[in-house]
């Protein structure tokens, strides 16, 4: 797909982060965009930014990608607004959470897995007929470096997100053959970002029903403190010596720093992704950290979960 001009793209999770940047970049290239999100005010801001480009049609749709009926409604609305075919599908929506399988909450685990995996699966299911009616189409599924390395380091459980992102990667790779045999005009790419400057750390808590860090009650602060203190290493010692208000501020600041101090911005990531789509790359690594980690894991797959494996253990997935 040499040009996006005049094409129709569907973007999930388009309210913030990479989703918003993809919407903006596509609209700038003359592409019509249908985006969904769970936060209406974020979508409204994305829409206003995209409509600064003349001649493009932008629609917003309230949708929880983890709920199939929501996705079916989203598809119906897109068909009513943009016609019976689309050219590009970006299954981008994702949240973090559900790290602990053994000691964590099942509800949070399953919600994180559902957004990150079923959001992709439902997206492909409901929009496949519209992609089939396009002359040339492309599916772009967002996995993560945690789709090939299921860890945030040796002291942090990370099961729901990593399991979902592995599923996305495997599904996307399997689609290569499936599409070649049954829908050769449709291509697929799996995107594996490293640490990208997005609001995922801030938005995830809201979607999972957590209180915003600065508004946590004493009971909620106690739960967070206990969770952090159970992690081996220097962080547990530091948490022992801070007040409740200091802990609230610390948790808030972590989300801000994740977004603002990333080695790659969401806009830069969107450029990498769209260039990869144009080049029909089935595998798109996003960020120098993602490329380095991928190389380390491939070189030494047997020891990547050892305690002394030092390959970018501080990496944060987008």
For residues 92 and 191, give the distance between their C-alpha atoms in angstroms, rounded to a whole number: 9
Query: Which of 183, 149, 165 has the alpha carbon at shortest distance from 314?
Result: 149
- The bridge status of strand 264-265 relative to strand 283-286 is unpaired
For residues 163 and 10, give the distance between their C-alpha atoms in angstroms, rounded to a whole number: 25
Query: Which of 263, 260, 119 has the alpha carbon at shortest distance from 194?
Result: 263
For residues 10 and 23, give the distance between their C-alpha atoms in angstroms, rounded to a whole number: 9
Query: Which of 94, 227, 231 has the alpha carbon at shortest distance from 161?
Result: 94
What 3-state DSSP class applies to 6? Answer: coil
For residues 58 and 40, give the distance between their C-alpha atoms in angstroms, rounded to a whole number: 14
Active site residues: 161
How large is the angle between the packed helices 119-132 and 68-82, nearest 10 degrees? 30
Query: Which of 143, 164, 162 has the alpha carbon at shortest distance from 283?
Result: 143
Q: Are 149 and 198 in contact (CB under 8 A)?
A: no
């Amino acid at each position: 797909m040499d040009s996006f001009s005049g094409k129709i793209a569907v973007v999930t999770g388009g309210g913030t982060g990479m989703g918003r940047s993809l919407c903006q970049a596509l609209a700038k290239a003359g592409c019509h965009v249908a985006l969904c999100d769970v936060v209406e005010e974020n979508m409204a801001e994305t829409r206003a930014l995209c409509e600064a480009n003349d001649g493009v049609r932008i629609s917003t749709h309230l949708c929880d990608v983890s709920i199939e009926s929501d996705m079916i409604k989203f598809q119906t609305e897109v068909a009513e607004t943009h016609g019976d075919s689309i050219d590009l599908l970006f299954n981008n929506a994702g949240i973090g959470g559900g790290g602990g399988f053994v000691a964590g909450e099942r509800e949070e685990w399953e919600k994180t897995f559902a957004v990150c995996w079923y959001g992709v699966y439902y997206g492909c299911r409901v929009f496949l007929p519209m992609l089939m009616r396009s002359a040339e189409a492309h599916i772009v599924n967002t996995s993560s470096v945690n789709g090939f390395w299921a860890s945030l380091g040796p002291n942090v459980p990370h099961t729901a997100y990593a399991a979902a992102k592995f599923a996305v990667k495997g599904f996307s790779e399997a689609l290569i053959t499936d599409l070649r045999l049954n829908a050769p005009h449709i291509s697929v790419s799996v995107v594996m970002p490293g640490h990208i400057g997005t609001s995922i750390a801030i938005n995830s808590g809201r979607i999972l029903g957590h209180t915003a860090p600065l508004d946590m009650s004493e009971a909620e602060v106690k739960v967070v403190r206990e969770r952090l203190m159970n992690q081996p290493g220097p962080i547990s010692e530091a948490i022992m010596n801070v007040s409740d208000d200091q802990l609230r501020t610390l948790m808030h600041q972590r989300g801000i720093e994740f977004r603002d101090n990333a080695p790659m911005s969401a806009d830069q990531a969107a450029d990498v992704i769209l260039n990869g789509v144009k080049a029909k790359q089935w595998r798109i690594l996003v960020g120098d950290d993602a490329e380095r980690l991928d190389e380390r894991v491939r070189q030494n797959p047997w020891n990547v979960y050892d305690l002394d494996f030092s390959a970018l253990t501080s990496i944060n997935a987008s």
